[in-house]
Chain A
């Protein structure tokens, strides 16, 4: 049963691509421009999964991940990082912040959906 996914990216075109892919698979998508906007939403609402970019203005994805893990209702929610970054040190920071997984852009829609299904 598809659920609600919070998709966070500062690129409007990326948000569109993610939204189309997820909605086409039956998920409900909530979008945010950056970490601050996503955290504001998360404080008031729960979702089934968070899919976030890493490099964003105002608050980056790794900081967002740490902040979300500090919220009681997000402790068990899968958080996937979707980013162009592939450096092992940055991945390691993401893992320490509590990320569930790391997907390097460009994503393949079928592969993204399979990964989401695996962690949900």
Chain B
């Protein structure tokens, strides 16, 4: 009786493991969890960005209409000259161009996260196959197939550094340097 009351129950998982339990299955489960969390976060942000794009489009239309009105105005109107209105309209137009570049980074982010999600799913399937995980060449094939997934320059920089065994700090430093180098949009090549 005394022994029963003084001993605390052991965690359930430690008492009984299901017949199909394995560290590989647990790893796959955690990878799937990461993938599911990313998908949920992306879905939420997609909705917000859609709203933002709609609002931006309305603002752009309003700005365009105001510019047209300003161009038709007589030289002076209620103390504000048409020239001043046009100057402000030009400033708005420049800010719109900057916003167009900024919006595209969300599109790029979505693509990059999509690649990471695909990598997590692929890895979850891979680790469940013990025959594969025991052979080094299968890991090499996995790495090669995942590299093909990463098609932007930024992704490849990170991938190659990690594959070559760079430390997390070295990767961060390289990415920061690369971002500074490529912060200006965009590159054009005519064939």
Interface segment among A28-36, A42-50, A66-74, A96-104: the answer is A96-104
Given the known inter-chain contacts A21-B100, A85-B152, please indicate yes or no for A55 contacting B111, CB distance below 8 A. yes
The reply on B113 being an interface residue by CB < 8 A is: no
CA distance A105 to B154 in the complex (A): 12
Complex: how many Å from CA A31 to CA B178? 33
Decide: B57 and A16 in contact? CB cutoff 8 A.
Answer: yes
Q: How large is the interface on B (under 10, 10 to 19, 20 to 34, 35 or more residues)?
A: 20 to 34
- Complex interface: chain B residues within 8 A of A20 (CB): 57, 60, 96, 100
Q: Which of B57, B64, B101, B189 has most chain A Cβ within 10 Å?
A: B189
A108 lies within 8 A of B191 (CB): no
B49 touches A13 (CB 8 A): yes
Min Cβ gap B33→A in Å is 26
- Whether B190 lies near A111 (C-beta < 8 A) is no
Could you say which of B103, B111, B152 contacts A17, with CB atoms under 8 Å apart?
Answer: B103
Within 8 A of A (CB), among B123-171: 151-153, 156
Q: List 7 A-B contacts (CB under 8 A).
A: A86-B151, A102-B188, A106-B102, A106-B186, A108-B101, A110-B97, A111-B186
Distance of A17 Cα from B36 Cα, bound (Å) = 29
**CB closest chain-A residue, reference B97:** A109
With A11-B110, A13-B107 as contacts: A84 and B188 at CB distance below 8 Å: no
Within residues 88 to 120 of chain A, which ones have a CB less than 8 A from any CB in chain B?
A: 90-91, 95, 99-111, 115, 118-119
| CB–CB B50/A87 < 8 A | no
- Supposing A13-B50, A108-B101, A110-B97 touch, asked if A103 and B188 sit within 8 A by C-beta, the answer is yes
Beyond A101-B190, A108-B97, is A13–B111 a contact (Cβ under 8 Å)? no
Contact (Cβ within 8 A) B185 A111: yes
A13: chain B residues within 8 A (beta carbon): 49-50, 53, 103, 106-107
Contact A12–B53 (Cβ < 8 Å): yes
Chain B residues whose C-beta falls within 8 Å of the C-beta of A115 in the assembled complex? 188, 190
